[in-house]
Homo-oligomer: A and B are copies of this chain.
Amino acid sequence: MNSVILLKNRPSGKPSLKDFEFTEEESPQPKDGEILLKTKYVSVDPYLRGRMRDEESYIAPFEVGNPLESGIIAEVVESKNRNFEKGEFVNGMLQWKEYQTSNGNGLNKVDRKKAPLKAYLGILGLTGITAYLGLKKIGKPENGETLLVSGAAGAVGSIAGQIGKIIGCRVVGIAGSEEKIDRIRDKFGFDAAINYKTTQNMKMAIAEACPNGVDVYFDNVGGEILDAALANMNKYGRVVNCGAISLYNKSETPTGPRVETTLIKNSILMQGFTVRDFVKDFGPAQKQLADWMEEDKLTYLETTVEGFENIPKAFIDLFEGKNKGKMIVVV
Contact = CB atoms under 8 A, between A and B. Distances in A.
A253 interface: yes
A273 B264 contact: yes
Contacts of A242: 264
A253 B257 contact: yes
Interface string A53-96: 00111100000000000000000000000000000000000000
Contacts of A29: none
A261 B273 contact: no
A269 B269 contact: yes
Nearest to A55: B265
B222 A244 contact: no
Give the oligomeric copy count. Answer: 2
Given A255-B255, A260-B226, A272 B277 contact: no
A55 B264 CA distance: 13
Nearest to A219: B260
30 contacts: A50-B261, A50-B265, A58-B235, A58-B265, A58-B267, A219-B260, A222-B260, A222-B261, A223-B260, A236-B277, A241-B263, A242-B264, A244-B260, A253-B258, A255-B258, A256-B256, A259-B259, A262-B272, A263-B271, A263-B272, A264-B272, A264-B274, A266-B272, A267-B274, A268-B272, A269-B269, A269-B272, A270-B270, A270-B271, A271-B271
Interface of A: 50, 55-58, 219, 222-223, 226, 235-236, 241-244, 247-248, 253-274, 277
Given A219-B260, A265-B272, 20 more contacts: A57-B265, A58-B265, A58-B266, A223-B258, A241-B260, A242-B264, A243-B264, A244-B260, A244-B261, A244-B264, A253-B257, A255-B258, A259-B270, A260-B270, A263-B270, A266-B272, A268-B271, A269-B270, A269-B272, A270-B271
